[in-house]
Amino acid sequence: MCLYLFLLGSNFIALASMNTIKPVSPEETVKEGTNINLTCTYDGAINNIQWYRQYQRSRPEFLLYIMEYGLIHPTDSDFPVYIDKDKKRVDLQISSAAVTDSAVYYCALQPTVTGNNKTLYKNH
């Protein structure tokens, strides 16, 4: 069985600079049981990158956030995150993907997942 992963990116304007975050690939298809990285690239500083998951007909669910200096909260998250500050990218890894991982995943620079419907990773 194949899973489809979609990822949304959310823009955030901070003071006089513009910080943005966007998915590298808006859609991924993976086979059940394989590992997948959902990758977002960002411009500006890595002040507070947040990840959410939204199941069909449900509200977005907060997964984790990455603070400045790469600190990840909650530290006991089920999702490993990899940060490459030189390439300005962050990967959320889903290990051994299952049908229950089918959802829309969001990367954001502010605590919201509304307002941007142009880029999307969808997993269903």
- Show me where the domains of the chain are located: 2-122
Instruction: Give phi and psi for 100, each to the nearest 5.
Output: -70, -10
Please give the pLDDT value at position 66.
85
**Per-residue pLDDT tens for 52-97?**
999 989 999 999 988 777 778 887 778 888 888 889 899 999 999 8
CATH entry, 2-122, from 3.40.30.10, 2.60.40.10, 3.40.50.2000, 1.20.140.10: 2.60.40.10
Please give the pLDDT value at position 4.
60
**Per-residue pLDDT tens for 3-57?**
666 666 554 444 435 678 888 887 788 888 999 999 999 887 777 888 999 998 9
Contacts of residue 82, Cβ cutoff 8 Å, sequence gap at least 6: 37, 90, 91, 93
Q: How far is Cα 114 from Cα 8, in angstroms, rounded to an integer?
A: 10
Please give the pLDDT value at position 12.
43
Q: What is the reported pTM?
A: 0.75
Q: Is the pLDDT of residue 112 over 60?
A: no
DSSP state of 18: E
1 falls in which pLDDT band (50, 70, 90)?
low
**Token pair for 68:** 């400045």
Please give the pLDDT value at position 91.
92
Could you tell me if 117 and 22 are in contact, meaning their C-beta atoms sit under 8 angstroms apart? Answer: no
Please give the pLDDT value at position 76.
77
